[in-house]
Structure 1
């Protein structure tokens, strides 16, 4: 299997996982479905709002980046156009204080969004590095590092 096909498959899998998680996040952070705030729960509601905004922003940034990657693999964007569309923006991690106020299931959803974003960041870094060096230089670097390890 060539590198191009592997990357395409990774992007497709990330895209599917992100879509599913975005739908779950939408349902989890939909404040309209919450009943009126009970006394003493205001900090938890604020934490839900803060982390909900961070999580949905993270997922929307990730989806936008993945859609550009998919357009490239579909032949709709050139390598130069994909590079111009930009690197994946740096993620803003969750706030530990706010996370402590959330229910475990909500914390797990936030952590899953961070995990998916970290996977995409690694892929983006690799793609950026290869774009700077070109495929031949990248292969030479990988071969050199493999032989150095032995």
Structure 2
């Protein structure tokens, strides 16, 4: 069994840089992709698919950057570990794209969406590993209950 990776400032800074580049690519791709040249009903469906996936993808990257910024703040001493564990959580509900909608998009945009999904999955694995690292440590409430139990003997 492998030891979970500890998150350190170098990892967070590298991921933050990667997230900024990826976010800029997402912004540029969806800004320039408004030119859909199909006709009739297909055009409407493609525009809806593009809008939905643009919102989903930019939201995914916004959450990723927020998570990374929280970790940077922790390493800079601006957040306690308690604050980071409580408020620096990634949403497990970052759903991937719907296949029927993705099929209506340009291949380049589908590749970019896939890259953001893989990036977010990497962050989720890091976050889960970091959170599981101290699972054995009792919570504050459990520690307080233990103290009360010991005092009542």
TM-score (norm 2): 0.76
Where does 1:1-150 land on structure 2 (aligned, <5 Å)? 7-30=8-31, 34-35=34-35, 39-40=39-40, 41-90=43-92, 91-133=94-136
Query: 1:36 and 1:98 mapped to 2: Cα distance?
Result: 14
- Shift in Å, 1:56: 0.3
Out of 72-81 and 34-43, give the one that drifted further: 34-43
How far the C-alpha of 1:58 sits from its partner, in A, is 0.3
- Structure (1 or 2) with the greater helix fraction: 1
Distance 1:101 1:38 in 2: 10
Once residues 34 and 93 of structure 1 are traced to their aligned partners in structure 2, the CA distance between those partners, rounded to angstroms, is 21
* Structure 1 gap segments, 5+ residues each: 135-150
- Paired residues in the alignment total 130
**Deviation of the 1:35 alpha carbon:** 4.8
Q: What's the offset of the Cα at 1:30?
A: 2.2
Q: Structure 2: any 5+ residue segments left out of the alignment?
A: 138-153
Give the TM-score taking structure 1 as reference length. Answer: 0.78
- Give the aligned CA root-mean-square deviation in angstroms: 2.0
Larger radius of gyration: 2
